[in-house]
Chains A and B, each alone.
Chain A
Amino acid sequence: MKIVSRPFGEVEIDENRILTIQGGMFGFEGYERFVLIGVQEQKPFEWIQCVDESSLAFVVLRPDLFMPDYKLSISEADRTALGVKSESELLCYVVCVIPDDMRKITVNLKGPVVVNPGTRLGRQTISLIEHYSVRHPLFDPSRDKSAAPSGGA
C-alpha cells in the first residue's frame, strides 16, 4: 500500500506492518495507525509515520542502542492493554527531538513507545522509573571530550 510520509514523500509499505498505537501519541490522540519506516543512511534513527496523516511522524530510536542498561518499567494497566505479562515481551522506542545543532538531540526516556510485536499493538507509556528524563541528551557532552570544539562550530 502506498502512503505519503513526512520524511520521504510517497512510500510503499506492507499493510501487515501497520501498528496500532492505542490512544495515539500523547498530544496527538485520535491518530492510531503508524508504521515504522527508515532508510539506511539514517540508521539507527527510524520514523514512526502516521498512516492516515502524512504530516505526523516522529523520529525514534531503540534505547538499547545507546543505553544498554535502559530499563523498561511500565504500569500493569499498560501491560494489560498490550496483552503482555512482562516488559520483556515488548519492543521499545524512544522519541527524539532534533534541534538544528545535531549534537543536542534529546530523547524521551520517560515516555517510551512500546509495541507488542505479535499483535502490532503499541502504546506510548509513562515509565515508572522516576529519574528518567523526557529530555535526555543523546550525545552526552560531558563524556565526549573529542567532539565539539569549545569555540563552537
Chain B
Amino acid sequence: MLVLTRKVNESIMIGDSIEVVVVEVHGEQVRIGIKAPREVAVHRREVYEAIQKENIEAAKQKVETLSKAAELFKKPPQGGK
C-alpha cells in the first residue's frame, strides 16, 4: 500500500481522473473529499465489507426447502395485512 502524508487541503491523484483531498482534520477524524468520474463508485469500506460478508453467507445456503419459505411468505402474519 502506498502511504503518503498530506496536510489539510493537499491532495492525491489516483490515475488521471481521481483526486483525494484532505478537507479537514479534527481530532481523530479526517474529512476526505473525493473527486471521481461519475461512473466510479466510492463507498465507505465497512459498508462494502458488510455486503460482501452477507453475499458470502447467501451463496453458501443449502436451500432445498425454499418452498417452505415461500409458504411462510404467502401466509399473512396477522390474518390479512
- Rounded to whole Å, the gap between the CB of B14 and the closest CB of chain A is 15
- Residues in chain B near residue A59, CB distance under 8 A: 58, 61, 63, 66
Least CB distance from A81 to B in Å reads 5
Contact of B41 among A44, A77, A98, A143 (CB under 8 A): A77
B50: interface (CB < 8 Å) = yes
- The A-contacting residues of B in range 34-81, CB under 8 angstroms, are 36-43, 47-48, 50-59, 61, 63, 65-70, 72-73, 77-79
Contact with B along A11-49 (1 / 0, CB 8 A): 000000000000001111000000000000111110000
List chain B residues, Cβ under 8 A from A75: 41-42
Of B52, B63, B78, the contact of A144 (CB 8 Å cutoff): B78
The 10 closest A-B pairs by CB, nearest first: A111-B51, A27-B52, A41-B67, A144-B77, A26-B52, A80-B38, A77-B41, A42-B66, A27-B55, A102-B69
Known: A7-B63, A28-B59, A43-B70. A126 touches B51 (CB 8 A): yes
Is the Cβ of A42 less than 8 Å from the Cβ of B70?
yes
Closest Cβ of chain B to A102, distance in Å, is: 5
A-chain residues with CB within 8 Å of residue B63 when the two chains form the complex: 7, 59, 98
Mark B residues whose CB is within 8 Å of A. Answer: 36-43, 47-48, 50-59, 61, 63, 65-70, 72-73, 77-79
- Is A4 an interface position by the 8 A CB rule? no
Which B residues are in CB contact (< 8 Å) with A78? Answer: 41
Chain B residues near A27 (CB-CB < 8 A): 51-53, 55-56, 59
B66 touches A97 (CB 8 A): no
* Chain A residues, Cβ within 8 Å of B48: 26, 126
Q: Are B67 and A77 in contact (CB under 8 A)?
A: no
Once the chains bind, are A134 and B50 in contact (CB under 8 Å)? yes
Report which A residues bind B (CB closer than 8 A): 7, 25-28, 41-45, 56-59, 66, 75-78, 80-81, 95-99, 102-103, 105-106, 108, 110-111, 124-126, 134-135, 138-140, 143-147
Given A42-B69, A134-B50, 10 more contacts at CB 8 Å?
A26-B51, A27-B51, A45-B69, A76-B38, A77-B39, A99-B61, A102-B69, A126-B48, A145-B77, A147-B77
